[in-house]
Homo-oligomer: A and B are copies of this chain.
Amino acid sequence: MLSGEWLGFVAGALVTSSLVPQLLRVVKLKSAHEISILFTILLLTGIIIWLAYGIFLRLTPIILWNAIGAVLVAGLLYAKLKYGR
């Protein structure tokens, strides 16, 4: 694997996994008042377009991380709608 690819793999893993503690935090607190609805919607839309980009260019790490990321951000959006007040 090229050095650049390796960097991209690590960067994608960190960015996507960062969503896990954030999702767990709002679920644990049962509160998402401070989470911006626009943040979750823009992020989810952007991730879905990254996923399309990955499929279009057949880039496996882009497809993998953004598919996982889309599920996590969809969870955050659900938590925002449920606990957002």
Residues of A within 8 A of B (CB): 3-4, 7-8, 10-19, 21-22, 24-26, 29, 31-36, 38-43, 45-47, 49-50, 52-53, 56-57
Main SS of chain A's interface residues? helix
Q: State whether B57 touches A14 (Cβ < 8 A).
A: no
User: How many copies of the chain does the oligomer comprise?
Assistant: 2
Q: Whole-angstrom distance from the CB of A78 to the nearest CB of chain B? A: 15
Q: How near does chain B come to A85, taking the closest CB pair, in angstroms?
A: 12
Knowing A7-B49, A52-B7 are in contact, say whether A38-B21 is a contact too (CB < 8 A).
yes
- Tell me if B56 and A39 are in contact (CB < 8 A): no
A46–B3 contact, CB under 8 A? no
